[in-house]
Amino acid sequence: MNQEILSDVDYVKLFSFSRDIIKNASLYESKIDFSLEVNISLLKILKCRSVELKEYTGSDCISYYVKYTDKIETEVKQEKKTSYNFIHKKKKSPSLITIPLGKIENSHFVYIFNSNKEHPFSDNNLKIIDALIPIIHDAINSRRVQAALKERIKELSCLYKICQTFLPELTLDEILMKIVKILPPAMQYPKYAFVRIFYKENIYKTKKFLSSMNFIKEDLYINRKIQGSIEIHYVKNDILEGEKIFLIEEINLLKTVAKQISLVIEKKITDTEKKDIEKKLIHTDRLASIGILSSGIAHEINNPLSNILGFAQLSKKIQILLKKSIRI
């Protein structure tokens, strides 16, 4: 950073910019909106034609571009990484300056300031830019840390709410419908997230479900067999092509939810089988009781019948004896 003293006016500009950027770091949920807002502020302070922030991640590059003609216009576009040559050194031309912002997480950032004037970047402007770069770096880093913390809180809240749905009195259909409603708010873009669960021949999905090519999916393993799946779709027109829409944490969240769903389905199946076995045992016990009762009744009936039969046989013998005595 240039160590020369700035004027009072420049210090006021820096203070105003720092205040706005710190406020915006917590105000904007989208990194795209935040980056464009920072570029608009720079455009106004430096009064140049355009300000562009390039974010390099892997083989991709996202460009946050702001220009001024008759009005301020913004553009976000996906590019292929061409070269890192200008990242490692500052370049200055009569109408163009490129300054490396540094590395934040896994991304490299480069600022490009452009002007129509032949010599727009005075030494004073360069001092302002040098003073602003560390502030922007810290603001972007702070914004990403805050965003990451918010996402983790949403994911933990999601898992907690899902665990609360695993109640014995709720049916499996009711549980799966509740999960479908709980998952979208845990995503990075809740308004554009749609959830669908397949289980056997049943489908559970969010209201007004829209399918998309941008989705993640996890299978439901029930007793070690795939018997369904859960999907999260993003339907958003301004999501950049090639951008990693789903965070790694969101993919891991879906895996955890799929495991929880599989466990609760297995438990419901086990509970159902247990109830069926209990019903069969109760039925068998009742049959056994009826058998004991009937055998007791039969015994009680057989006793007098045996006596009657004995007397009948005795009476026959008496009659035969009487006939024989008469003959004699």
Per CATH, which fold does 8-149 belong to? Beta-Lactamase (3.30.450)
Report which of 188, 194, 185 is spatially closest to residue 247, judged by C-alpha positions: 188
Q: Which CATH architecture has domain 165-273?
A: 2-Layer Sandwich (3.30)
pLDDT at 119: 61
pTM, 2 dp: 0.62
Could you read off the pLDDT tens digit of each residue along the chain, which spans 328 residues?
A: 444 566 777 777 777 777 777 676 666 666 777 788 888 878 877 777 888 888 877 667 777 778 877 777 787 777 655 544 444 344 445 577 778 887 877 788 888 888 776 666 667 777 777 878 888 888 888 877 877 888 889 899 999 999 998 888 888 899 999 999 999 999 988 888 999 999 988 999 998 898 888 889 999 998 888 999 999 998 875 554 445 678 888 899 999 999 999 999 988 888 877 777 777 777 777 777 777 767 666 666 666 666 666 666 767 766 666 666 666 5
Give the DSSP letter string of 103-114: EETTEEEEEEEE
- Residue 60, SS3? strand
Residue 318: strand, helix, or coil: helix
> Could you tell me the strand order of the sheet in which 60-68 lies?
72-80, 60-68, 50-57, 107-114, 96-104, 91-92
Sort strands 60-68 and 50-57 into parallel, antiparallel or unpaired: antiparallel
Domain boundaries for CATH 3.30.450.40 within the chain: 8-149, 165-273
